Amino acid sequence: MTFRPILNAVLRSSLCPLCNLSKVPPTATTLKGFSFMSSTCPPLTQRVIILSPFKVMWCALALLTEEELSCLRRAGRAASQALKSVIYKVHEGMPLIEVCEQVERYIKSTGCEPAFPCNVSINYVAAHYTSFVGDKSIIPPRSLVKIDVGAHVNGFIADVASTIALSEEYEPLVRAAERALETAINSIRPGVRMSTLGSLIETTIKSLGFKPIRNLSGHMLKQYTLHGEKSVPNVAVNSRFSMEAYEVYAIEPFVTNGLGVVVDSPEVYIFRYLSPKKAKKADREVLATIWHRFKGLPFCDRWVRDLIPQETLSKLLELSRTGSLYGYHVLVEKGRGLVAQAEHTIIVLEDGVEVTTSF
């Protein structure tokens, strides 16, 4: 016997079956993360039920507490202001490592932590480039510069990005990314399907004469998890997923005048903890410290030089080859087309959205 239809009906309902009030939280005992409701219920976010073959118990689960909302908003302010602090300073000849370190210092100065190494991606590079120890790269003349910034408070993440055109001829690409982002955000509400958002983003970008990058997408944000189980496509796709109230997402259209596809380059500068199972005994203490510092969030060699003083990047690459770390390949546009990006973090509310990274 299946109880899924009953569960779905309850999740769609806006009324508490006990007190007949909308959006009700529990006021009684908690069991395994669920709290059973009494007949006097002040407002809350979403109801769920626990089902067994013998009985149905109604309960409510707060998807975001006030403390969690506060963390998300603090992270959003830090990330957006860090981006703003550097975006108007970007110029030809500026070292990429200077951009990365300035952004990361700013985030820390607010009492937050970087959620991932600052990405600075130039021209046909779409994502995942951060400066490594000793990086001598500089911003080239007449380039298209994408800066992607993340901050977190207790693992609650904000992710924001913008593109700077150092040549007027690239400004239409930037405007297309920004227009697609605005269109998507204006269409978000509880229940909106990911396929609908993907179609809107694709239509907007194509109407302006460019292509969306079809194998890059926005993503759900969860505590210490940069990419949750749901993604927000940048093209029309068949998706069974939809957005629900109090979920958090990074919406990020990528626009190109190339083929509309990214591929892995050989370069890897950003890593994420996976598992110590296959690591050498001598490496397990380092991995334990990496987990303690970053949990499931990405990091780079610049952040762990105290743990691995010599040949830091080489050691991280070795750990990624053994499966202890995940390495993010730098992503490049397959046809070497120029790429622009625009991104904001949003919280889905019951009557719309809150953009935590607006500036």
Task: Name the residues annotated as catalytic.
Answer: 148, 159, 219, 227, 252, 343
Cβ pair 268, 330 in contact under 8 A: yes
Q: What are phi and psi of 161, to 5 degrees?
A: -150, 155
Phi then psi for residue 353, to 5 deg, are: -140, 160
Q: In what order do the strands lie in the sheet with 231-233?
A: 231-233, 217-220, 248-251, 344-349, 352-355
Report d(CA 182, CA 351) in Å as an integer. 17
> CA 95 to CA 148: how far, in whole Å?
16
The DSSP string of 103-157 is HHHHHHHTT-EESSPPEEEETTEEE---PPTT---BPPTT-EEEEEEEEEETTEE
**318 alpha-carbon distance from chain centroid:** 26
